Amino acid sequence: IRVLYRVAARDWGMKGLENPITDLARSPTARKRRLGGDEEQRLLAQLKASGAYFAPLAELALESAMRQAELLSLTAADVDLENRIANVRDSQDATSRTVPLSPRATEIIRSLPQPMSLVAPLFPVSRDSVIRTFRKACDDAGIRHLSFHDLRHEAIARICARMPMQRAMRVIGYK
């Protein structure tokens, strides 16, 4: 709404228009949600009961800090398990990057059902089904205010705790 009033005044010449929400405090945009206690185990248990792909998807997100779109676009051709790397297409800026895979990440990928071809997605599920299943799993596990993207935040915090910042930034995909 703030932007609408700013555009109206600046671009449309409506200088006298009074913005009714000028005095309202802005809500913080950065999320700070981390997994606590046994939330990770409860979440993964619920996701395992939801199908073959949802728990491994969440585990790989926690292990690699890849974005949901990057994970869903991964194909067998994108992954080199011998060299433990994945080439991901960055949905944020249409570039690609190489993500090193931990031994656990390669184990997760190896445990997946074999894709039909090298260009078939490793996770043949839709974004909508991931969102729905994740929300239901959180509800069933009694976990509040957690989104799939929060798994990336959790993974970033874990990665930054165990490696130098410059290397962590490259792994995570930050410039």
This prediction's pTM? 0.79
- pLDDT > 80? residue 59: yes
Mean pLDDT of 148-158: 93
The DSSP letter of residue 75 is: B
- pLDDT > 60? residue 147: yes
The whole-angstrom separation of Cα 15 and Cα 93 is 36
Mean pLDDT of 73-79: 94
- Mean of per-residue pLDDT scores for the chain: 88
Per-residue pLDDT band at 90 (split at 50, 70, 90): low
